Structure 1
Amino acid sequence: MVCMSTDQNFSRPGAVDLAGLTAAAANNTGQPTGAGARGSYVLPVTEADFEQVAAQSVRYPVVLVLTSTQAPGADQVVDDLTDAVNAQEGRLILGVVDVQSDPRIAQALQVQAVPTAIALIAGQMAPLFQGTVDKQRIVDLIAQVVQLAVANGLSGRATPVSTASVPEAAGEQADPRFAAADEALEAGDFQRAVEEFDKVLKNAPRDAQALAGRAQAALLARTSEVDPGVVAKADAAPTDIELGFAAADFELVTGDVARAFDRLLGLVRVTRDVERDKVRERLVELFETRGAADPEVKRARRLLSAALF
């Protein structure tokens, strides 16, 4: 899970237990408050488009708020999230999930009460809060999400859902060089995204955004069908490079960054020549997914230098 300061105690006042709600509201067809015209970077999310929306988190953060018309104070929470997200001018988007219309999203995310807010950053999930919180706390949390995204190398900008209400700022359009890669990421075709980033890198081999994008896409491609049991297998065979690679990938996407880096550092120390170069290159690639400013990257870089020299 992405590490950040959040309200992770999900026994908050103002939260409504989902068990107390009906499974669906057949006669409720209205949009949740805060979605729609008021929010140029806010969109309703359903089970049909959930994966597509979540895939955008490799470009910029996606905040999800799971809500219900039956939850007191939920509309105000959505309104406050809408204001905070729109103030960031496309640095992230807000998806509003009506748990009565789409209860399976709540089940998949293991959400027990509403309103609940969750951030997705580079495919990793971090809980933000559950229940009703004050507006300033929401503003602070959204700012933290944006800061964490930048630290992880995510610098994309979302396209407004409604350009009529808030004109797109000049100079903030997405870099056209990454259009094809972005399209592939949004479609969940991570291998094609890797190939598109490679095309950009042929002309600009040291482009930081392209390197980070390629590393993130490659990580998502490798872990799209990963076996969670690979960690135990790698622990049982600590010198097996391929198992170590797969386990480190799994640990990284599930938020255990230090363990992922330490696993590959351990392989660096017990390998030589071509094999050591192979492990070093994979470790450096994983650094790219986090960004040079990440404290764990800085720590691991120091340990890598010591292991090599």
Structure 2
Amino acid sequence: MTRSNPRSDPAALSAAFSRAVDLSALKRPAGPAGPAAGAPRPAWVADVTEANFPAEVVEKSAQNLVLVDLGSPRSPVSADVSAMMERVVAPYGGAVALARVDVDAQPRIAQAFGVQTIPTVIAVAAGQPVDAFTGEQPEAQVSTWVQSLVEAVADRLPGMAAAGAVDGAAAEAPVDPLLEQAEDALEAGDLASAITAYEALVAQNPADTEAAAALAQLRFQERAAALPADAVEQAQAAPDDLAAQFDAADLLFATGRTEESFALLVDVVSRFYGDERTATRDHLLELFALVGNDDPLVIASRRKLAAALY
């Protein structure tokens, strides 16, 4: 996507991007359209040339979201992306159109979009590009990107609203197999397998904040399950034992005594120095993230942490 991750608000329409692309040179046919290339395809998939660009992209995008797939027969990745895009748009039943462009045969279209890398997929709505991605991306990630775009533009494009694109596609959007694996493992009570699946999800897409947050929660649950029931008492009996302090803070956190957990670690920060202080700070920041950085208790505890550090 123009931004590297389709989940990072990909549907926010880029005014700067829209102004940077001038499609006016392609709004008049350059000559008679040639025969469509390739095997028969669904009605919502079209091979686009300069001749049919006005109808298949400019005019169609006044009614529906159009995804312009610019690739080359010289690029194996282009073929993979084109096949993936056909699968991604299929659930929308024509509410989202796929326009394929062979940049070798139609260089002026690529030039009009300012494309420098292939494959590139550009989303067009109401005659203007609104977002894009280049190269090969995970299919589930692209599906999420398309759905976000649909939700952003559906109320402005009459063809999509009439087709019920948002409701229909949301129900049929493919789920990442790793996410299904993680959910199945959680239902079976297999925490270790769920963690492994989420680790793979995060490795596949480090910008997936939802998967990262879920992984952090599961890792904490795994750690908390191994805590001794008397961890708080052990920490009180050994105030210089850093590991014991961490266990006590985790047990307090896991049992809903969040404020006490934070206060314990802030106190440890004020009593330790060097690597031990750094480790304590990092442990506390990890617990902050589990609660959420906008939580009032986290905000107040951050101030106390800063005072203890400096």
Q: Check whether TM > 0.5.
A: no
TM range (shorter): 0.3 to 0.5
Greater helix percent: which structure? 2
Q: Which one has the largest radius of gyration? A: 2
Flag the structure with more relative contact order, 1 or 2, with Cα contacts below 8 A and sequence separation at least 6.
1
